[in-house]
Homo-oligomer: A and B are copies of this chain.
Amino acid sequence: MNREQLIKDNFSFLFEEKLLDELSQIGNIKKVNQGDFLMDIGQEMTFMPLLISGAIKVFRTDDDGDEYILYFIEGGDTCAMTLNCCIRGAKSEIKAVAEVDTTLLLVPISKMEDWLHYKTWRSFVFGSYNNRMKEMLEAIDSLAFMNMNERVLKYLKDKVIANKNETLNITHYIISDELNTSRVVVSRILKKLEKDGELKLLRNQIKILKL
Selected from B89, B113, B117, B141, the residue in CB contact (under 8 A) with A60 is: B141
Residue of A136, A143, A144 ringed by the most chain B CB atoms within 10 A:
A144
Interface segment among A25-33, A125-133, A160-168, A187-195: the answer is: A125-133
Q: Tell me which residues from 103 to 153 in chain A have a Cβ below 8 Å from any Cβ of chain B.
A: 113, 116-117, 122, 129-134, 136-137, 139-141, 143-145
Q: Tell me which residues from 23 to 78 in chain A have a Cβ below 8 Å from any Cβ of chain B.
A: 60, 62, 64, 66, 68, 70
A6 proximal to B (CB < 8 A):
no
When all copies of this chain in the complex are counted, the total is: 2
Chain B nearest CB from A165 CB (Å) reads 26
Selected from B64, B116, B129, the residue in CB contact (under 8 A) with A129 is: B129
Separation of A94 and B86 alpha carbons in the complex (Å) = 22
Chain B nearest CB from A139 CB (Å) reads 6
A180 proximal to B (CB < 8 A):
yes
A85 touching B145, Cβ below 8 Å: no
Chain B nearest CB from A31 CB (Å) reads 28
Count of A residues near B, CB < 8 Å?
32
Given known A-B contacts A66-B145, A140-B68, A143-B140, A83 and B116 have beta carbons under 8 A apart: no
A140 touching B139, Cβ below 8 Å: yes
Selected from B89, B132, B145, B180, the residue in CB contact (under 8 A) with A144 is: B180
Given known A-B contacts A68-B140, A143-B140, A144-B143, A133 and B132 have beta carbons under 8 A apart: yes
Given known A-B contacts A116-B116, A143-B144, A137 and B136 have beta carbons under 8 A apart: yes
A176 proximal to B (CB < 8 A):
no
A171 proximal to B (CB < 8 A):
no
Chain B residues, Cβ within 8 Å of A89: 134, 137
Selected from B113, B129, B180, the residue in CB contact (under 8 A) with A85 is: B129
A60 touching B137, Cβ below 8 Å: yes
Minimal Cβ-Cβ distance residue in B for A119: B113
